[in-house]
Amino acid sequence: MFETDGLAALKSSTELLAQGFTDLPEFDSPHLDAGAAAVLSDVARRMQENYPYAHPLYAGQMLKPPHPIARAAYSLAMQINPNNHALDGGRASSELEKEAVANLAAMFAWDSHIGHLCGGGTMANMEALWIARQELGGAVVASEQAHYTHSRLTEVLGIPFHSVPVNANAQMDVAALESLLRQEKIGTVVVTLGTTGVGSVDPLHKVLELRKSHSFRIHVDAAYGGYHCLLDSLADNARQAFAQIADVDSIVIDPHKHGLQPYGCGCVLFRDPQIGRHYKHESPYTYFSSDELHLGEISLECSRPGASATALWATQQLQPMERGGEFARGLEDSRQAALALYARICDDHSQLSIVEPELDIVLWAPKAVKASEISALSSNAFEQCAANNLHLALVHLPSTLLRAHWTGVEFDAESVTCLRSCLMKPEHLQWVEKIWAIYKEST
């Protein structure tokens, strides 16, 4: 489960890195001794107290192991420990970040853009909403299944927020959005392409139609689902939504989800490079060696790890983000795994299906007469599966969403606890049978 073959390549790469600094006099730098080895052994033992995130039998939360090249490149960069806030602190890694971010923008068919890496989707979404406030003002709206960070961040930014109901497929209800646009001053519509709870894709193509008669910005939160734009096998709604992602104002994507990167590595992109004017600041004591635009001038964050940029760039070189390539095939395997698990759920009369996966998240629950009984059975299945080394997740869904799918259930509670599985690893496709067998044995 743990890759060690790359340690030899990392050693030789570190020696090559050192050759770039041979003109400097030697000095006594810290080295690991026997005491350090003992501490590392303690760390290894303490880290055993984790779920097996890298194993295919971990199919719960959005935890995907970084690619070995990402781990190695990150470790190599840590010999320098660059800070991509300014060129003074991360000269080489800043260039790698610009190239890596441009690769992400090109994946969304943007030739022109401005953007940068950040700690994750929360910080990336905050920057997008902050720019939206600067550009247009007005309230922000997102669907009821959008990530909770949007309502929280708008509170931090002092922006009014409205929640839009969802349809039976957990996608933003466009008719409800249109009604809200007529009633309120809406500045930004957050369209989620891959909700983290259900995995649903908001109908971006329909929201774009509304923008023809209403004035608002469109921010796409694709922190989880963004890389799926590389797939040709998506169902109609998701396919149409991703096909028009180039027409939005801003996009957030998290390479530390499907992009095979260590935490934390998020990215915010803006289609119009002119929004860089909102970041203007003065800090003459920080920058002295370059007159070039540095990433600290287009970011709310200051210090940012150059190692993250290095790891992402290296991964993109090894597995380019292109349709039909190795990277895209890995995403396709994950999606096919989700569809395969969903098919088994639908074929089993003791289980309740919910929505067909649009990406790679699968939801279901054990069948019972009452909603409260379903919640209890789901929680018990979660624990019994974990005892048998199959790790799933739980999600609480509103009864209003489930009524259309479970016509024979008595809803005696406002929400129902269901099982949730995120099949993000390509290996999951080969493990669906085993996953289902353990689930059935556990329930």
**Tokens of residue 198, six digits:** 């259900």
Number of residues written out for the chain: 443
Q: Which residue has the higher pLDDT, 421 or 286?
A: 421
pLDDT tens for 14-35 read 999 999 999 999 988 888 898 9
Mean pLDDT of 153-163: 97
The span from the first CA to the last CA of the chain, in angstroms, equals: 27
Mean pLDDT of 274-287: 67
Tell me: pLDDT of 288 over 80: no
The phi and psi torsions of 416 (rounded to 5 degrees) equal -130, 135
58: which DSSP letter? B
**Amino acid code (one letter) for 145:** Q
pLDDT tens for 174-185 read 999 999 999 999
pLDDT tens for 40-51 read 999 999 999 999
Tell me: pLDDT of 292 over 80: no
Task: For residue 149, count other CB atoms closer than 10 A to its CB.
Answer: 21
Give pLDDT, residue 190: 98
Class of domain 91-318: alpha beta
Give pLDDT, residue 289: 43
For 236-324, list the strands marked E by DSSP. 250-253, 266-270
Give pLDDT, residue 360: 98
Tell me: pLDDT of 403 over 60: yes
**Tokens of residue 121, six digits:** 């989707």
pLDDT band at 130 (very low <50, low <70, confident <90, very high): very high
Q: Which residue has the higher pLDDT, 289 or 304?
A: 304
Report the percentage of the chain scoring pLDDT > 70.
97
- What are the Cα distances from residue 235, in Å, to 162, 190, 346? 29, 21, 18
DSSP 189-210: EEEEBS-TTT--B--HHHHHHH
Mean pLDDT of 291-315: 84
Q: Look at residues 365, 375, 439, 377 and name the one whose alpha carbon lies nearest to residue 406.
A: 365
Fold match between 91-318 and 326-442? Answer: no
**Tokens of residue 85, six digits:** 């806030």
**Tokens of residue 393, six digits:** 């997740």
List, in order, residues 6 or more apart from 283 with CB less than 8 Å away.
Answer: none
**Poorest-confidence range of 8-22, 324-338, 420-434?**
8-22
Q: Look at residues 87, 82, 116 and name the one whose alpha carbon lies nearest to residue 287.
A: 87
Mean pLDDT of 232-243: 97
How far is the C-alpha of 35 from the C-alpha of 281, rounded, in Å? 46
Give pLDDT, residue 281: 58
The domain segmentation of the chain, as residue ranges, is 91-318, 326-442
Identify whether 264 is preceded by a cis peptide bond (ω within 30 of 0). yes
**Tokens of residue 65, six digits:** 């192991």
- What are the Cα distances from residue 146, in Å, to 78, 152, 403? 35, 12, 20
Give pLDDT, residue 287: 44
* 108-112 own/partner pairs: CB under 8 Å, 24+ apart: 108/226, 108/229, 108/245, 108/246, 108/251, 108/269, 109/245, 109/246, 110/246, 110/269, 110/271, 112/271, 112/272, 112/273
Give pLDDT, residue 266: 97
H or E element at residue 163: strand 161-164
Tell me: pLDDT of 425 over 90: yes
Per-chain mean pLDDT for the chain: 94
Give pLDDT, residue 283: 52
**Tokens of residue 299, six digits:** 């970011």
Give pLDDT, residue 294: 64
pLDDT tens for 354-380 read 999 999 999 999 999 999 999 999 999
How far is the C-alpha of 149 from the C-alpha of 401, rounded, in Å? 21
pLDDT tens for 242-253 read 999 999 999 999
Q: Which residue has the higher pLDDT, 108 or 275?
A: 108
Give pLDDT, residue 282: 57
pLDDT band at 208 (very low <50, low <70, confident <90, very high): very high
**Tokens of residue 361, six digits:** 């998240």
Rg over CA atoms, the chain = 23
pLDDT tens for 47-101 read 999 999 999 999 999 999 999 999 999 999 999 999 998 888 899 999 999 999 9
Mean pLDDT of 317-340: 98
List, in order, residues 6 or more apart from 206 with CB less than 8 Å away.
Answer: 174
Superfamily of domain 326-442 in CATH is Aspartate Aminotransferase, domain 1 (3.90.1150.10)
392: which DSSP letter? -
